[in-house]
């Protein structure tokens, strides 16, 4: 290695680490919860005593803080109730069920009193939000401790959390405690709950749960007192339960942004240690029907975690739990609640999706309300790869995301993905945007930067933004650094508009000794274009037309197949022409986007097939 080369590579290393730090480097708040909670399983009421250490890393002085009180959504007349009864296409799990709840079935969460350094904090309950006016302002860079008591009632399960779900699971306890709202560079996120997305403050939880000892408890974090608990938790010492009818479970979770738990008397608890990954836990109702399916789950999930670790970044926590509960599937840190009465494919599918959220939500904690597509779409993208790894098949695992997005684009209900999740006019548009559009956007990026830089860019994004709240700009910058391209046009226009993509082959003609090909941009959306020429002998020639705005092109050795790079398409031009030496009679066809990676709205104008002997094709 020459001296000059060493200096250059040292400089490159310095720049790489400089850029890695210059991304996702916004300040973020920090919390430390210490909670003692007692649940009365006959009244479904609970009380808690909490100490919350809150560090203000913002440059601002805070005079008030906000908490979420999600259980208050499950009361007639709540914002969630009214939203569900007035939206055009309500979630079938909710409809008017909240309006019909009796007083003993409703949810309730109240903070009874709060003190800051011995002085009373003024509280104002605003439905699912609590405003707490601090006794002393919290200065930038300082911490404070809030001590408070809370009490609530677990609602009958309507959506995600609650008691007695459709499969008879006693307690699905998500979004159940007074949860401090996040304050970031966009200000407070004290969003009233309408049943959709979450955002939380990074921190540590130490939670002690006391309830009837007949219940088995699953929770975020790691159980700290297995020798007093038993219930299937591995313990180094012999299990010795304290006397009495109740049991206290102590869970500790580090570097998470929420805490969920579930409890049932009939849980079977299976533990599967992984040599090269987290300890996997499974909790499900102990019935022969469930056993027949669930006993197959651990092996699939071990493969799932191994694949994700290898391709998307390492899962950072020591444990993960798959828990029967809730009303479908929902992700929480180190744990998911999923309905369990499913066939194997469906059980594996939901388990993959929710556990993959550990990467896109758990570690990369984007504000799900503001950027739902980063949360669900990226989870779908990785899940599709995992499912193909688990079940095989050589088709494109992301094809359905393009179909789903195009269905939305055609439906007339399309709204920009930059819309806050709570504010989409229809549940259908929110769903297709967060899941299908989001997956499509990542998949399609492969056609811009190349497949290898897409995969590496995702790992780069993970490394740069783990344990942060990444935003679209952070994803964009990760891919810009990985590919060397300018990508603002891609993220800006796809995320903030409802424009659609349509490139066409306008003309293929013999001119002298060359075949002249003219492409046309018919849609408003801009993209680079891949063009494949297929000869009558079956030979293929792949060309790439870069978009001028990208200031470069994907590298020929970093995509699915080698290609010849053509001069850039100046973005203001509606047409683009290039020539290839050869005779048109040797050509069988020309195709745009031959790997169908882009969300082309009209595929009919993407291909020209030549009947034998034809000298040229022109389209109006």
Residues that bind Zn ion (CB under 5 A): 376
Is the CB of 138 or the CB of 352 nearer to Zn ion?
352
* Rounded-to-integer distance, Cα 296 and Cα 253, Å: 28
> To which residue do tokens 């339960």 refer?
241
Closest to 532 measured CA to CA, from 593, 587, 585, 582:
593
Is the CB of 68 or the CB of 357 nearer to Zn ion?
357
CB of 298 to Zn ion, least distance (A): 21
CB of 331 to Zn ion, least distance (A): 6
Tokens at 492, concatenated = 């800006």
The helix/strand/coil state of 265 is coil
Residues forming a β-bridge with 280: 272, 320
DSSP letter string, 566-599: PPPB-TT-SEEEEEEES-GGGEEEEEESTT--S-
Is the CB of 249 or the CB of 312 nearer to Zn ion?
312
CB of 169 to Zn ion, least distance (A): 20
Which residue has the CB atom at the shortest distance from Zn ion? Answer: 376
Tokens at 193, concatenated = 């709950």
Is the CB of 376 or the CB of 493 nearer to Zn ion?
376
DSSP letter string, 160-227: SBEES-TT--SEEESS-S-EEPPEETTEE--PPPSSS------EEEEEEEEEETT-EEEESSEES-HH
CB of 215 to Zn ion, least distance (A): 27
* Rounded-to-integer distance, Cα 265 and Cα 567, Å: 67
CB of 434 to Zn ion, least distance (A): 8
* Rounded-to-integer distance, Cα 320 and Cα 372, Å: 23
* Rounded-to-integer distance, Cα 123 and Cα 150, Å: 12
- Burial zone of 102 (CB within 10 Å; 0-12 exposed, 13-18 middle, 19+ buried): exposed
Is the CB of 405 or the CB of 490 nearer to Zn ion?
405
* Rounded-to-integer distance, Cα 162 and Cα 326, Å: 8
CB of 421 to Zn ion, least distance (A): 12
Q: Count of CB atoms within 10 A of residue 614's CB?
A: 14
* Rounded-to-integer distance, Cα 68 and Cα 179, Å: 5
Q: CA 203, 207, 210 angle in degrees (round to 5)?
A: 165
Is the CB of 183 or the CB of 332 nearer to Zn ion?
332
CB of 350 to Zn ion, least distance (A): 9
Is the CB of 368 or the CB of 502 nearer to Zn ion?
368
- Residue 242 backbone class (left: φ over 0; alpha: ψ -120 to 50; beta: rest): beta
Is the CB of 277 or the CB of 377 nearer to Zn ion?
377
CB of 353 to Zn ion, least distance (A): 6
CB of 457 to Zn ion, least distance (A): 22
Rg (CA), the chain: 27
CB of 193 to Zn ion, least distance (A): 17
Is the CB of 165 or the CB of 351 nearer to Zn ion?
351
Name the phi and psi angles at 369, rounded to 5. Answer: -70, -50
Is the CB of 362 or the CB of 450 nearer to Zn ion?
362
Closest to 59 measured CA to CA, from 138, 136, 140:
140
CB of 130 to Zn ion, least distance (A): 27
Is the CB of 81 or the CB of 368 nearer to Zn ion?
368
């Amino acid at each position: 290695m020459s001296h000059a080369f060493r200096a250059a590579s040292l400089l490159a290393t310095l720049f790489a680490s400089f850029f890695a730090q210059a991304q996702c480097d916004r300040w973020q708040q920090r919390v430390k919860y210490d909670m003692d909670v007692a649940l009365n399983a006959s009244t479904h009421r609970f009380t808690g005593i909490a100490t919350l250490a809150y560090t203000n890393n913002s440059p601002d002085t805070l005079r008030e803080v906000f908490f979420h009180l999600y259980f208050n959504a499950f009361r007639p007349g709540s914002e969630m109730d009214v939203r569900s009864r007035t939206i055009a296409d309500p979630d079938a799990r909710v409809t008017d069920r909240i309006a019909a709840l009796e007083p003993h079935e409703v949810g309730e969460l109240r903070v009874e009193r709060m003190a800051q350094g011995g002085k009373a904090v003024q509280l104002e309950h605003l439905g699912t939000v609590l405003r707490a006016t601090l006794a002393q302002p919290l200065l930038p860079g300082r911490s404070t401790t809030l001590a408070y008591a809370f009490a609530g009632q677990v609602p009958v399960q309507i959506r995600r959390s609650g008691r007695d779900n459709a499969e008879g699971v006693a307690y699905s306890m998500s979004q159940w405690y007074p949860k401090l709202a996040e304050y970031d560079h966009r200000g407070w996120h004290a969003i009233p709950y309408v049943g959709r997305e979450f955002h939380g403050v990074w921190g540590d939880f130490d939670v002690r749960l006391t309830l009837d000892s007949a219940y088995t408890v699953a929770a975020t974090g790691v159980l700290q007192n297995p020798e007093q608990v038993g219930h299937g938790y591995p313990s180094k010492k012999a299990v010795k339960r304290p006397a009495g009818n109740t049991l206290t479970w102590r869970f500790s979770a580090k570097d998470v942004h929420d805490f969920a738990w579930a409890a049932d008397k009939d849980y079977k608890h299976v533990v599967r240690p992984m040599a090269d990954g987290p300890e996997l836990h499974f909790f499900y109702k102990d019935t022969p029907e469930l056993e027949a399916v669930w006993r197959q789950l651990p092996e699939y999930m071990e493969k799932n975690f191994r694949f994700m670790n290898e391709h998307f970044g390492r899962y950072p926590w020591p444990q993960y739990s798959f828990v029967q509960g809730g009303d479908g599937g929902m992700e929480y840190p180190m744990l998911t609640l999923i309905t369990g009465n499913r066939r194997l494919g469906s059980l594996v599918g939901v388990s993959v999706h929710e556990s993959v959220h550990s990467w896109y939500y758990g570690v990369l904690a984007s504000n799900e309300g503001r950027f739902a597509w980063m949360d669900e779409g990226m989870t779908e993208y990785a899940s599709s790869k995992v499912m193909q790894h688990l079940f095989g098949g050589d088709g494109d695992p992301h094809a359905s995301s393009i179909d789903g997005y195009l269905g939305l684009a055609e439906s007339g209900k399309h709204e920009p993905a930059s819309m806050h999740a709570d504010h989409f006019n229809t549940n259908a548009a929110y769903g297709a945007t967060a899941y299908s559009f989001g997956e499509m956007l990542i998949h399609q990026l492969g056609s811009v930067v190349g497949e290898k830089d897409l995969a590496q860019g995702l790992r780069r994004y993970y490394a740069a933004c783990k344990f942060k709240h990444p935003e679209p700009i952070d994803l964009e910058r990760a891919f810009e650094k990985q590919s060397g391209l300018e990508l603002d046009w891609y993220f800006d226009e796809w995320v903030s508009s409802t424009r659609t993509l349509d490139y066409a082959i306008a003309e293929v003609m013999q001119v002298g000794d060359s075949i002249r090909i003219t492409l046309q941009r018919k849609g408003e959306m801009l993209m680079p274009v891949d063009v494949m020429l297929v000869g009558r002998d079956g030979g293929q020639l792949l060309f790439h037309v870069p978009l001028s705005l990208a200031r470069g092109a994907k590298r020929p050795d970093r995509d699915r197949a080698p290609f010849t790079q053509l001069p850039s398409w100046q973005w203001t031009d509606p047409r683009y022409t290039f020539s290839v030496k050869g005779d048109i009679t040797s050509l069988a066809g020309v195709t745009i986007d031959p790997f169908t990676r882009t969300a082309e709205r009209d595929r009919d104008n993407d291909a020209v097939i030549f009947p034998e002997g034809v000298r040229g094709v022109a389209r109006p």
